[in-house]
Homo-oligomer: A and B are copies of this chain.
Amino acid sequence: MADIRNHTREMLPEPTLRRLPWYLAYVNMLNARNVEFVSSTQIAKDLNVDASQIAKDLSCLNIKGKTRIGYEVKMLEQVLQDFLGFKEVHNAILIGVGSLGGALIQDSGLSRYGLNIVAGFDVNPTIIGTKICGIPIYNIADLEYKRKALKAEIAIIAVPVDQAQSVADLTVANGIKALWNFTPSRIKLSDNIVVQNTSIYSHLAVMYNRLDIQKQQSK
């Protein structure tokens, strides 16, 4: 397959980047159903996103829709796939193999999105030296020595909140370029380190609040 991504990758706004995977999941589904073309109006209808927003988002990619027909589904799938990097392999290490960390190791969905967890690190002697789903768990003290051999540039941070900053500093000192932070800590690092914060529990706060309000209103 030809690499159509040999142009310089553009810096897209974060909200746009976060929507692109929705479009990809959607065209994956269309392709599986042998749909050949799709318009931004149809995508808008099915995904509940504004059509002009979709046209604007997709205009960032190297693809043009045809008047009255729309986008070729297979082509759009390919372009999104390539742009998003989900088909490339990104090695990652996981720091903190507790409840959430252990769950992430077991989520094979991550590998479908290009994330390859190559090792876990922890301080707990009862799990150091074991494997989870075939992935070895090492002592965090061996991070420096192991990280180079593992060729990982991404660290997933799933440690207790008060450990987050020191663990982040440690990984960066050892060559990590991007952090996927699952703790509620707002980690501070130099600007050349990429940080993505995913505090899934924050979404529960919103859900509980909205649920309570619905109950009050329906009384």
A186 and B99 contacting across the interface, CB-CB below 8 Å: no
Residue of B nearest to A107 (CB): B103
Q: Which residues between 85 and 112 of chain A lie within 8 Å of chain B, taking CB atoms? A: 85-86, 88, 90, 98-100, 102-104, 106-110
Given A12-B209, A21-B199, A214-B194, A114 contacting B161 (CB threshold 8 A): no
Residues of B within 8 A of A200 (CB): 198, 200
Q: Which residues of B contact A26 (CB under 8 A)?
A: 161, 184-185
Name which of A70-78, A117-125, A138-146, A175-183 contacts chain B: A175-183
> Could you tell me the distance between the alpha carbons of A113 and B199 in the complex, rounded to whole angstroms?
12
How many angstroms from the CA of A24 to the CA of B200 in the assembled complex?
14
Q: Are A203 and B198 in contact (CB under 8 A)?
A: yes
Q: Does A8 count as interface, using CB distance less than 8 angstroms?
A: yes
B184 and A21 contact, CB distance less than 8 A = yes
Tell me if A's interface is mostly helix, strand, loop or mixed: helix
Q: Are A214 and B196 in contact (CB under 8 A)?
A: no
Mask: chain A, 178-212; 1 = CB below 8 Å from B; 0 = not: 10100111111000101010111111111111111
Does A41 touch B at the CB level, under 8 Å?
A: no
CA distance in complex: A202, B109 (Å): 12
Instruction: State how many residues of chain A have any CB contact under 8 Å with chain B.
Output: 74
Q: Which 3 pairs across A and B sit closest by C-beta, in order of nearness?
A: A103-B103, A25-B184, A85-B208
Is A216 in the interface zone, CB < 8 Å from B?
yes
Complex contacts, A187 vs chain B, CB 8 Å: 48
On whether the beta carbons of A208 and B21 are closer than 8 Å, the reply is no
CA distance in complex: A90, B206 (Å): 13
Contacts A25-B184, A110-B204 supplied; 10 other A-B pairs, CB < 8 Å: A11-B210, A20-B205, A21-B199, A22-B186, A84-B205, A84-B208, A85-B212, A86-B204, A86-B205, A196-B203
